[in-house]
Amino acid sequence: MKKIVAIGASSSSNSINRKLANYAAKSISIQSHIIDLDLNEFEMPIYSEDVQRDSGIPKEALNFKKEIHNSDCLVISLAEHNGSYTAAFKNIYDWISVIESDVWCSKPILLLSTSTGARGAKTVLKSAYERFSLDYKYPIPYFSLPNFNQNFDSNDGITDVRLNQDFQAVLIDFENILNGV
């Protein structure tokens, strides 16, 4: 059984990215146990070298990193705030990057984004893809879902036929990576 960590990279209590990350994790056709990491459970001081020097690495950052380390793969769906990562995600990312340089522990990653707008958070998705894929062990399949409220249903998943076909193709690519194909 594979352990899949799903990360909705938003601190919203009703995060559409958390919904998409969990939907994608459940859609992977392998026997799995899904761990839903809620960013609100990992609140910590804003990263700075001074805080790190004076107080060390917060236990929340160590716990987040431990979940990644103990997983078999990651499904990350990025929310976009002003064209970039949310402050909550960026802070966690900064803290876990000082624990070890292999931020994502060389785990296969499925990278997603969504928003209620027509671009589907493509700016942050592109930025994250470019950063995460640098010299990465695995290719990183990615998918953006625009207009979340019109294209996603909590019971049926992605409702737009073309977008669902695109998502399924990305999911197959990710499953092939997980299966060593």
Residues forming a β-bridge with 144: 113
CA distance 50 to 62: 18
Cα–chain center distance at 102: 16
Q: In the chain, how many domains are there?
A: 1
3-class DSSP state for residue 165?
A: helix
Cα 76 to Cα 4, 36, 52, 61, distances in angstroms: 10, 10, 26, 17
Range of the domain at 121: 2-178
pTM of the predicted protein model: 0.96
Position 89 confidence tier, pLDDT thresholds 50, 70, 90 = very high
Residue 78: CATH number of its domain: 3.40.50.360
Supply the pLDDT for residue 72. Answer: 97
- For 141-149, what is the mean pLDDT? 98
Asked if pLDDT for residue 112 goes beyond 90, the answer is yes
